[in-house]
């Protein structure tokens, strides 16, 4: 009852639908109270943000800074929120949007996340929809029409859609509550992931009078200022949460035998882990090395098929696979709280990327380790990568034309086309080196010529190819086929005119068969020439913003190219300094990079540990036992008496005699510390 009421209060319509059976028994007083409140407040909803959080999410309190961001947004101010990954970003815009009239437009570049969030909202009874790169024009038209005239609260949009005429037409019909900008660092060219499509948000602001809620997990102070400037903030308003991860120990290890170290960490730390490497080939090699050594593992990279990727991801998530060896394609949007270690087998090229990836460890607040393995050849390789990532501009232009030739797009045509792009096939066709071609394509994206959306889910589509009347005369080999057609005709419109996207889970549920059977039935119907069946797919889509330009007319903005390369080099050198650092606490180093001054030393990174050890050594054997005992007691009390043996072992990495174990045993025996947890 409450839920229905809240929904109708926050929506424009007065629509008291409730569970009547419950209602009679339920306390009438609450209903009267809510009704009175509703009458008093007329349009705006008087429920507090906490009420909304309770009703929709079932949580009893906000996480740090969430309420501050929400209040700012409810006051109609533009706000930039910098929250660490896992800090609960979505609640910050979903709560205020539910409390206001109208529809929130949410811009996000992560198509997979977009789908998850929409499903998640729908499952909570909140109406949401999305427009992304995998959709055809008709689908987009339908979705935008719904957004403008339907009773929706959230519209998720991928950034390259913002500049299209269709979107700009519809947006003027929408009653927009907020413009939400997720991954807001993408708007800054000084950020590590600039996307020119984000600049369209500036234009959107001119058309729509609604406050902006911008969110990001990684922004240096310069990038934060740039974000507020680019988004046209009426006044500067930054809410930033602390980036400390007290339960995450950063360990940087210089070693020649990386494989040995890898194995040592995977064997000594229990629980789930992630190993990041740079190349796809290496993911396979390392996973088989770990498996051969008795560690349950698998590999993941963007070159695997969609089905295979989701299978591996699911098996890792539910614990069937302990260690996932992967490229940076893995992890985005995966919310697994109990990741105990994240190992970087190669040095990442920016502190931003490193912080994000390492930050996937220990979301549940328990002790976890972020281990970075390196040696001098890594530094050499890292500097070479800069050359590959920024190929010469005439090569970039060559790739521009080759892509058009590949798809047979003539000069002066092509604007608005969506091409299913297979990079491997493209490179094979022209005998190109994969990574140079990739970076050329990415740079062309940055100049706004096209957008490359990787891993886009493309819905199954169905079009009925026979006349409606004929349909009843067909003798189907399987009686479920006619049932299926009936369901489709009842639930979807336009089936006789064009390929209509269908929701396989929904339809198979209605038909009472598994999705696999549904696909067989659809395939069977297509063999009978009754329908046109386009199976769902996961693909990379290249969206052309402009007609193909003639040679020498392609403006690749050499000045900007030079600046971007410069910014890339600066971030990379920062990473080199990070691994070579010998004095500054790892946590403090990273926090300072992100603009958080005077943070306290973490006490658990390799630098802090080395400092402790040095003081142990200098204090001699007599005091040594006392210091070990003190270190254990301090650690256990800092963990509020919850710890396990591996954590303690990591405090004393070079204690091969296991002295600490004797000392710990004594401490447990005399009751100074509780026994460890399993
Ligand atoms: Zn430290």
How far is CA 331 from its chain centroid?
A: 7
What lies within 8 Å, CB to CB, of 616 at 6+ separation is 624, 627, 628, 631
CA of residue 628 to ligand 1 center, whole Å = 18
Element (H, E) at 87: none
Q: What pLDDT is attached to residue 365?
A: 86
CA of residue 249 to ligand 1 center, whole Å = 8
CA of residue 610 to ligand 1 center, whole Å = 10
Element (H, E) at 456: strand 450-458
- Indicate the DSSP class of residue 102: S
Q: Which is higher by pLDDT, 251 or 16?
A: 251
CA of residue 557 to ligand 1 center, whole Å = 42
The pTM (predicted TM-score) of the whole model is 0.70
Q: Which is higher by pLDDT, 463 or 635?
A: 463
CA of residue 220 to ligand 1 center, whole Å = 20
CA of residue 650 to ligand 1 center, whole Å = 14
CA distance 515 to 492: 18
Picking from 10-14, 413-417, 618-622, which range would have the lowest pLDDT averaged per residue? 10-14
CA of residue 383 to ligand 1 center, whole Å = 27
CA distance 16 to 14: 6
* Mean pLDDT of the region 624-638: 81
Evaluate whether 568 touches 446 at the Cβ level (below 8 Å): no
CA of residue 466 to ligand 1 center, whole Å = 69
What tens digit of pLDDT does each residue of 570-583 get? 999 999 999 999 99
CA of residue 212 to ligand 1 center, whole Å = 36
CA of residue 601 to ligand 1 center, whole Å = 5
Q: 256: burial class by Cβ within 10 Å (0-12, 13-18, 19+)?
A: exposed
CA of residue 62 to ligand 1 center, whole Å = 28
CA of residue 608 to ligand 1 center, whole Å = 4
CA distance 169 to 16: 33
Residue 288 has pLDDT above 60, yes or no: yes
In 182-217, beta strands by DSSP E:
212-216
- Tell me the two tokens of residue 575: 């990473």
Mean pLDDT of the chain: 86
Q: What pLDDT is attached to residue 333?
A: 66
CA distance 297 to 394: 43
CA of residue 154 to ligand 1 center, whole Å = 42
Residue 5 has pLDDT above 70, yes or no: no
CA of residue 613 to ligand 1 center, whole Å = 13
Evaluate whether 309 touches 300 at the Cβ level (below 8 Å): yes
Using pLDDT thresholds of 50, 70 and 90, give the confidence band for residue 164: confident
CATH classification (class only), 384-459+542-564 = mainly alpha
Q: What pLDDT is attached to residue 20?
A: 40
CA of residue 632 to ligand 1 center, whole Å = 17
Q: What pLDDT is attached to residue 71?
A: 96
CA of residue 641 to ligand 1 center, whole Å = 21
CATH classification (class only), 248-374 = alpha beta
Using pLDDT thresholds of 50, 70 and 90, give the confidence band for residue 208: very high
CA of residue 236 to ligand 1 center, whole Å = 33
- Tell me the two tokens of residue 25: 């028994």
Residue 346 has pLDDT above 80, yes or no: yes
**Residue 576 to residues 122, 228, 349, Cα–Cα distance (Å):** 45, 30, 9
Q: 661: burial class by Cβ within 10 Å (0-12, 13-18, 19+)?
A: middle
CA of residue 59 to ligand 1 center, whole Å = 33
CA distance 212 to 177: 9
CA distance 107 to 114: 9
Q: Which residue has the tokens 């710890």?
A: 643
What tens digit of pLDDT does each residue of 542-562 get? 999 999 999 988 989 999 899
CA of residue 627 to ligand 1 center, whole Å = 18
CA of residue 602 to ligand 1 center, whole Å = 4
Q: What pLDDT is attached to residue 134?
A: 72
Q: What pLDDT is attached to residue 578?
A: 97
Using pLDDT thresholds of 50, 70 and 90, give the confidence band for residue 218: confident
Gyration radius of the chain over CA positions: 28
Q: What pLDDT is attached to residue 617?
A: 63
Q: What pLDDT is attached to residue 504?
A: 87
CA of residue 587 to ligand 1 center, whole Å = 5
Residues of the chain above pLDDT 70, percent: 90
CA of residue 415 to ligand 1 center, whole Å = 52
- Tell me the two tokens of residue 460: 């199954």
CA distance 365 to 52: 26
Picking from 68-72, 116-120, 594-598, 652-656, which range would have the lowest pLDDT averaged per residue? 652-656
* Choices 3.40.50.300, 2.102.10.10, 1.10.490.10, 3.90.1150.10: CATH for 49-240: 3.40.50.300
């Amino acid at each position: 009852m409450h839920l229905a009421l809240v929904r109708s209060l926050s929506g424009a319509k007065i629509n008291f639908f409730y569970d009547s059976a419950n209602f009679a028994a339920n306390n009438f007083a609450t209903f009267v109270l809510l009704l009175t409140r509703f009458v008093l407040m007329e349009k705006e909803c008087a429920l507090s943000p906490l009420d909304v959080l309770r009703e929709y999410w079932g949580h009893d309190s906000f996480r740090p800074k969430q309420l501050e961001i929400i209040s700012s947004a409810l006051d109609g101010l533009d706000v930039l929120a910098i929250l660490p990954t896992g800090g609960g970003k979505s609640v910050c815009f979903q709560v205020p949007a539910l409390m206001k009239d109208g529809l929130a437009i949410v811009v996000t570049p992560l198509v997979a996340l977009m789908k998850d969030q929409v499903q998640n909202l729908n499952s909570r009874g909140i109406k949401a929809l999305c427009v992304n790169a995998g959709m055809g024009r008709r689908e987009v038209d339908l979705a935008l029409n719904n957004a403008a005239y339907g009773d929706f609260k959230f519209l998720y949009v991928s950034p390259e859609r913002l500049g299209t005429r269709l979107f700009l037409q519809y947006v003027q019909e929408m009653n927009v509550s907020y413009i939400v900008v997720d991954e807001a660092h993408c708007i800054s060219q000084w950020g590590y992931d600039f996307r020119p499509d984000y600049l369209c948000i500036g234009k959107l602001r001119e058309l729509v009078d609604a406050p902006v809620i911008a969110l990001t997990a990684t922004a240096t102070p310069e990038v934060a200022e740039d974000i507020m400037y680019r988004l046209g903030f009426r006044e500067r308003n930054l809410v930033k949460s602390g980036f400390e991860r007290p339960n995450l120990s950063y360990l940087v290890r210089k070693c020649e035998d990386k494989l040995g170290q890898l194995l040592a960490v995977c064997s000594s730390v229990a629980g789930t882990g992630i190993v990041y490497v740079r190349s796809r080939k290496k993911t396979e090699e390392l996973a088989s090395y770990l498996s051969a050594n008795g560690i349950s593992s698998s590999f993941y990279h963007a070159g695997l098929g969609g089905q295979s990727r989701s299978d591996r991801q699911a098996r890792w998530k539910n614990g069937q696979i302990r260690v996932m060896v992967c490229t940076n394609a893995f992890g985005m949007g995966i919310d697994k709280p109990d990741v105990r270690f994240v190992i970087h087998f190669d040095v990442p090229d920016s502190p931003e990327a490193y912080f994000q990836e390492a930050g996937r460890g220990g979301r549940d607040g328990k002790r976890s380790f972020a281990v970075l393995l390196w040696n001098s050849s890594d530094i050499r390789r890292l500097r070479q990568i800069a050359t590959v990532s920024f190929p010469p501009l005439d090569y970039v232009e060559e790739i521009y034309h080759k892509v058009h030739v590949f798809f047979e797009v003539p000069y002066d045509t092509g604007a608005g086309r969506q091409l299913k792009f297979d990079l491997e096939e493209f490179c094979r066709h022209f005998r190109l080196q994969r990574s140079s071609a990739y970076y050329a394509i990415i740079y062309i994206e940055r100049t706004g010529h096209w957008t490359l959306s990787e891993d886009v889910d493309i819905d199954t589509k169905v079009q009925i190819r026979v006349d409606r009347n004929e349909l009843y005369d067909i003798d189907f080999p399987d009686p479920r086929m006619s049932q299926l057609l009936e369901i489709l005709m009842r639930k979807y419109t336009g089936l006789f005119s064009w390929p209509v996207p269908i929701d396989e889970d929904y339809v198979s549920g209605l038909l009472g068969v598994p999705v696999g059977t549904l696909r067989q039935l659809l395939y069977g119907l297509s063999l009978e020439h009754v329908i046109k069946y386009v199976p769902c797919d996961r693909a990379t889509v290249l969206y052309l913003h402009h007609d193909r330009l003639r040679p020498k007319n392609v403006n690749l903005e050499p000045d900007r190219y030079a600046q971007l390369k410069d910014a890339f080099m600066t971030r990379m050198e920062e990473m080199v300094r990070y691994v070579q650092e010998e004095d500054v606490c790892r946590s403090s180093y990273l926090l300072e990079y992100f603009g958080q001054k005077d943070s306290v030393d973490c006490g658990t990174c390799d630098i802090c540990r080395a400092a402790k050890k040095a003081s142990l050594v200098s204090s001699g054997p007599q005091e040594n036992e006392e210091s070990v005992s003190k270190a254990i007691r301090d650690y256990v009390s800092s963990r509020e008496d919850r710890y396990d043996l591996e954590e303690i072992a990591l405090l004393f990495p070079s204690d091969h005699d296991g002295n600490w174990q004797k000392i710990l045993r004594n401490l447990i025996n005399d009751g100074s510390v509780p026994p460890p947890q399993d």
